[in-house]
Amino acid sequence: MLSFHNSRTIAIGEAMIEMAVVGENTYKRSFAGDTFNTAWHMSQVPGADIPVGFLTRVGTDAVSDSFIADVQADGLDSSVIGRDMQRTMGLYMIELDGVERSFHYWRDQSAARRLAEDRTWLDQSLAGCGLIHLSGITLAILSPQARETLFLAISKARAAGARVSLDPNIRPRLWSSPDETRQVMSKFYALADIALPSFDDEHSLWGDSTPAETVERLQAAGVGEIIVKDGANPATVAAGSMVTQLATPPVARIRDTTGAGDAFNAGYLVARLKGYDPVQAIAPAQTLSAEVIGHFGARIPKEHVPAIPTFTTT
Whether pLDDT at 307 is above 90: no
Residue of 118, 208, 262, 277 marked active site? 262
Q: What is the mean pLDDT of residues 204-212?
A: 97
Whether pLDDT at 311 is above 60: no
Is 54 strand, coil or helix? strand
Whether pLDDT at 313 is above 50: no
262 among known catalytic residues: yes
Give the DSSP per-residue string, 73-113: HTT-B-TTEEE-TT-B--EEEEEEETTEEEEEEE-TTBGGG
**Average pLDDT over the chain, rounded to whole?**
92
pLDDT tens digits, residue range 119-138?
A: 999 999 999 999 999 999 99
Whether pLDDT at 202 is above 60: yes
Confidence at residue 99, expressed as pLDDT on a 0 to 100 scale? 59
Q: What is the 3-state secondary structure (H, E, C) of 228-275?
A: EECCCCCEEEEECCEEEEECCCCCCCCCCCCCHHHHHHHHHHHHHHCC
Confidence at residue 314, expressed as pLDDT on a 0 to 100 scale? 43
For the sheet with 26-32, list strands across it.
Answer: 26-32, 16-23, 91-97, 100-106
Higher pLDDT among residues 298 and 235, named by residue: 235
Confidence at residue 100, expressed as pLDDT on a 0 to 100 scale? 65
Q: What share of the chain is helix, strand, coil (3-state, %, to 5)?
A: 40, 25, 40
Whether pLDDT at 81 is above 70: yes
Q: Of 109-118, 179-188, 257-266, give the lowest mean pLDDT range.
A: 257-266
- Report the candidate in 225, 182, 224, 223 with the shortest Cα–Cα distance to residue 201: 182
pLDDT tens digits, residue range 27-39?
A: 889 899 999 999 9
- Report the candidate in 52, 49, 41 with the shortest Cα–Cα distance to residue 312: 49
> Domains in the chain and their CATH numbers?
9-305 (3.40.1190.20)
Q: What is the mean pLDDT of residues 188-216?
A: 97
